[in-house]
Structure 1
């Protein structure tokens, strides 16, 4: 297949590829910038290997560095800049990149050999270097470490074919075109953010970059700029709805929808979305599938509350006969885990279905409901309890901003659920228990409620329950 960057520059040279609020680059201008960076990277010999790591926020220079690496025929290894030193170095050792390019603002004193600041690259004197003319479908475009909701991350290899299949399925679902303008406020080192960049190249649409999620800024951009789409997680959606409660003025007339990942929304949140005419497309996907593979369109949201929808084009889905695990087949599925060839094999059935590790059920109309992770399931007195169900109930409790549930050892029942709650005010345990007993089976009501300042989450906004377990053990 053609190099997506040079192809867009040839077809639509004056179309805006990226906008960070201060500078706007057309596809033609973008390719010239990428050729210059490619020349500079080639001058110091870092293009002699096969992988280059990148650690950056959602900045225009970081965006260009990533595409220069990709356009030079290299594989991007995305490094989460929020990680501790030992975690970063572990991933660098595992992926063995030629160099790790670091945004200047993220530089640490512990970085020595094998790390280079963006500014050092920019200071290299060199001639522009022509980008590769083609991308091969089976070549690995990016390596992205799973965010680690359960433990140590693995490097997910994402091919050009994976990204292309994901983009095509998404466009068929959302009706995206080159006239769209996608606001990227989620991290580009995470699949939710990087998929926007890749779709921008494939569709020829504008990517509107913001450095981080600032609800006040994002609300203003949605009202005043021609943004058509934004990717959010439940936390971001709720913060934006809070601002809708305070501000007058609808989003811009071109705005089409919010693409929600990280879990379905509750009835109360959906009602608020409808009140403010904010269409939400709920979705289900993972790093291993280059973003969403199942989606619930806004028109079905009211009658299918709690569902993540139906499989997109190119995705097949079924449930295992034993336990209801969600199994999938899709051309967007990873080619494997870096340095762990057996890991993907072990996650597939004998006839090639990929085991997601999630348990779910289908209704009579074929809509998927995700009950929870197999690893998170709590078995209490022989009954299976999924934290997601309990969290959905308590999310609607007045004063609860966020909630997460885990299972702890119980001498009588084997395990019992406990809840961690984020709230701006003290909450009565007695009232929380009474509330739960009115809406849940008694064995599902948490035995203890712990109020904390914030929940530990990964880059995609998913709660890292193993950190909550560690917190209890440390107590």
Structure 2
């Protein structure tokens, strides 16, 4: 058991600013009290400790208070991705078997019709008495559930426990330390592990979160120049926009800003060099939904000496390369630590997450002679577009269901803006236009998963056993 984080933080630093959003700000005590009011309203709507609910809302102060209310009740939260199609949302809602869906009023029309009761934000914003919070949390209790695509077309619901989030925040603190008036810029969606992990760090470390509804490079750059925040998380496309804006206005980052953690895929070497010239400290990271955010991080002092590396395992985390102890030998990356998920839910609940305590990531990489991790491939076929993970099998499954499609292969092609974008290679059984297939994808996939290009081909590359070789698809161009 561990003490209720929110209540303990409010007792330790009640008057410290915890959250800013647009022009408003809240202290830890104000957030704790408001979250207990929200918790009582949730109880009035039939939500009880141990229930599983889905949450669907844009990053905002309202969403933070809804999340904190669920934490006060120790409710399992299924974080729904706003970028998913109704078809994808329907699958996750049904697979998770949630009791309620807590939804931002303005987003109701984006949700599918499902046999689950909706609770709108406006219903629980009404001021009422405060709920009595759960004083102690079980470490093995599931706090969040986030879906991540697997090697099949069906995403897996990953459990993240109180212990997982606690371990992740603790190892991060040992890596970065704290300075006076610490503050994180949060432009990552809270439904992502990177965004949610910042909320956990805020409570556990007692630091302020400057929350953005969406990424705004002009406002972020203004904060970097004035030094009003100390850290943030970025993906490559965000970092490039920040760098371009700094260069355009001929400005450099304040020495008060400590670090930008860069994840969601490899960061181009040129970005790191440009960042160094602008006094922007960047640390590359490696992590996944199954590890509740970071597992390894490259220290800033090694950023240029070890360009391309994701650094070393953070304190209490372990990394090994399956089948070898020799440096520079490629193999599957395996991870061990208290931050690793204990399991999945729904139709994948039977799948083990570890073998002999090690999480087999499916990612290929190596450790150099100093123990620095280099990720060669984030799974052999994974496409990383603007920090989003896209699995070809999921797109192939949708396109294959179209009546005009005989077979399809999907791979990632280089893209200047997003790093990679999915491209589809389609073998037809009857005539159909590219526009029709793209519209079909848009109906059934999140926007970022829709192929940027669709190519009609006479055959797909296969091996002797008839298995399609995705790595050969780009040669068809």
Q: TM-score range by the shorter chain?
A: 0.7 to 0.9
Alignment correspondent of 1:421? 415
The superposition leaves residues 196-252 of structure 1 with CA deviations (integer Å, 9 ceiling, x where unpaired) of 001101111111100001111211232336200010001100010000111144334
Query: Per-residue CA shift, 1:97-129, capped at 9, x if unaligned?
Result: 221111122221755752222112224x74221
In structure 1, how many angstroms separate the alpha carbons of the residues matched to 2:411 and 2:89? 33
Matched residues in 2 for 1:5 and 1:178: separation? 21
Shift of 1:278: 0.5
Distance 1:186 1:147, change over 3 A: farther
For residue 450 of structure 1, what is the aligned residue in structure 2?
none
Partner of 1:348: 354
Residue 310 of structure 1, aligned match among 306, 309, 312: 312
Cα distance, 1:258–1:474 mapped onto 2, change above 3 Å: farther
Partner of 2:473: none
Identify the residue that residue 86 of structure 2 maps to in structure 1: 85
The SS at the match of 1:47 is: coil
Give the deviation of 1:132 after TM superposition. 1.2
2:404 is matched with none
1:44 corresponds in structure 2 to 45
TM-score, length basis structure 1: 0.78
2:67 maps to: 66
Relative to structure 1, is the Cα distance of residues 149 and 64 closer, same or farther in structure 2, using a 3 angstrom cutoff? farther
Provide, for residues 134-173 of structure 1, a one-character-per-residue CA deviation record: whole Å limited to 9, x for no partner: 1111111111111568632111000000000000111111
Deviation readout 1:258-283 (Å, 9 max, x if unpaired): 00001232332111011101010110
Q: Is the 8 A contact 1:293 1:315 kept in 2?
A: yes
CA drift of 1:418 comes to 7.6
Deviation at 1:175, TM superposition (A): 1.4
Q: Which of the residues 309, 317, 331 maps onto 2:338?
A: 331
Secondary structure at the residue paired with 2:23?
coil
What does residue 18 of structure 1 align with?
Answer: 19
Name the Cα RMSD after superposition.
3.2
Q: Which moved more, 1:233-242 or 1:147-156?
A: 147-156
- CA shift, 1:254, in A, is 2.2
1:371 aligns with 2:376: yes
Q: Could you tell me how far apart the structure 1 residues matched to 2:18 and 2:247 are?
A: 33
Deviation, structure 1 residue 473 = 6.3
Distance 1:86 1:94 in 2: 12
Q: Give the 5 Å matches for 1:39-438.
A: 39-47=40-48, 50-108=51-109, 110-111=112-113, 113-123=116-126, 126-146=128-148, 151-176=153-178, 179-224=181-226, 226-321=228-323, 324-339=331-346, 340-343=348-351, 345=352, 347-349=353-355, 351-376=356-381, 419-422=413-416
Q: How many Å apart are 1:50 and its aligned residue?
A: 1.2
User: Partners in 2 of 1:64 and 1:138 — Cα distance?
Assistant: 23
Q: Aligned in 2, Cα 1:149/1:292: closer, same or farther, shift over 3 Å?
A: farther
Aligned partner of residue 292 in structure 1, secondary structure: strand
Secondary structure of the corresponding residue to residue 356 of structure 1 = strand
Q: Quick check: 2:38–2:69 contact (8 Å CA) kept in 1?
A: yes
In structure 2, what is the Cα distance between the partners aligned to 1:33 and 1:254?
A: 32
Counterparts of 1:66 and 1:352, CA distance in 2: 30
- For residues 417 and 157 of structure 1, do their structure 2 counterparts lie closer, same or farther at Cα, with a shift above 3 Å needed? closer
- Identify the residue that residue 462 of structure 2 maps to in structure 1: none
Tell me, in whole angstroms, the C-alpha distance in 2 between the residues paired with 1:375 and 1:287.
18
Contact 2:21 2:211 in 1 (8 A): yes
Residues 1:369 and 1:150: Cα distance change in structure 2 (over 3 Å): farther
Tell me the equivalent position of 1:437: none
Equivalent residues of 2:18, 2:202 under 8 A apart: yes
Please report how far the alpha carbon of residue 366 of structure 1 lies from its aligned counterpart in structure 2 after TM superposition. 1.2
1:174 Cα deviation after fit: 1.2
Q: Which ranges of structure 2 fall in alignment gaps of 5 or more residues?
A: 325-329, 394-408, 419-440, 459-477
8 Å Cα contact 2:35-2:66 kept in structure 1: yes
Q: Match of 1:348, SS?
A: coil
How far 1:362 moved relative to its partner?
1.5
Cross-structure match for 1:35 = 36
Partner of 1:443: none
Aligned residues: 407
How far 1:46 moved relative to its partner?
2.0
Checking the alignment, whether the CA contact within 8 Å between 1:162 and 1:332 is kept in structure 2 is: yes
Aligned equivalents of 1:150, 1:314: Cα separation in 2: 32
SS in 1 for 2:3: coil
> Taking structure 1 as reference, are residues 172 and 58 closer, same or farther at Cα in structure 2, changes over 3 Å only?
same
